Amino acid sequence: MRILGVDPGIATVGFAVLDAEKRSQRLLTCGVITTPAKTQLSSRLDQIYRDLNELIAQFHPEVMAVEELFFNTNITTGIAVAHGRGIILLSGYQAGLQIYEYTPLQVKQAVVGYGRADKKQVMDMVRRILSLQAVPRPDDAADAVAIALCHARSATSLIHQQERFDPCSTT
């Protein structure tokens, strides 16, 4: 399965393309989409949309894993990021990708095994799991790799493979 992991943003959008098969994952590429500061929001959204579509056309992912938003203090920044996230979801949807969304807690749990892990622990585990020489840079790219890994580990788990069998179903 080829996964496009995306860390939403407006100034910087992290992306990672990962191939996953059972317990094996291989990073194909990662990086960031950047938009210039002091540019109209609509222009920034257009840039994200075009660049993401180009990535999808180049790497042909089957699924997209996107981090859900977490608002801490700055709601104004959060609203702009939400616009960017909407464009990201639209791009994946229009390309026919299955889209999966994960909270930061779920990403940390899947990558480190502890939902309250700090950023350094997550980045170190990303490096170890993928046998990389160094943590991917910049941080937004590394976050996107972690999101893709989260989906790879969730999608290849025994529970996910048996999801068609629902022991709690009454039908």
Residue pointed to by tokens 């938003």: 69
**Mean pLDDT taken over the chain:** 89
**pLDDT (0 to 100) of residue 72:** 63
Note the pLDDT of residue 78: 75
- Active-site residue set: 7, 67, 140
Query: Quick one: pLDDT at residue 22?
Result: 81
The reported pLDDT for the residue numbered 69 is: 80
- Residue 157: Cβ within 10 Å count: 13
Distance CA 153, CA 54 (A): 26
Q: Are 24 and 32 in contact (CB under 8 A)?
A: no
- The per-residue pLDDT for 79 is 84
At 74 the pLDDT is 59
Q: How much is the pLDDT for 157?
A: 62
pLDDT at 168: 41
Strands 63-67 vs 2-7: parallel, antiparallel or unpaired: parallel
pLDDT for 96 equals: 97
pLDDT at res. 139:
94
What is residue 23's predicted lDDT score, i.e. its pLDDT? 83
Q: For every residue of 33-47, which 3-state class applies, written as one string? A: EECCCCCCHHHHHHH
| Residue ranges, the chain, pLDDT below 70 | 70-77, 156-171
Strands (E), 45-97: 63-67
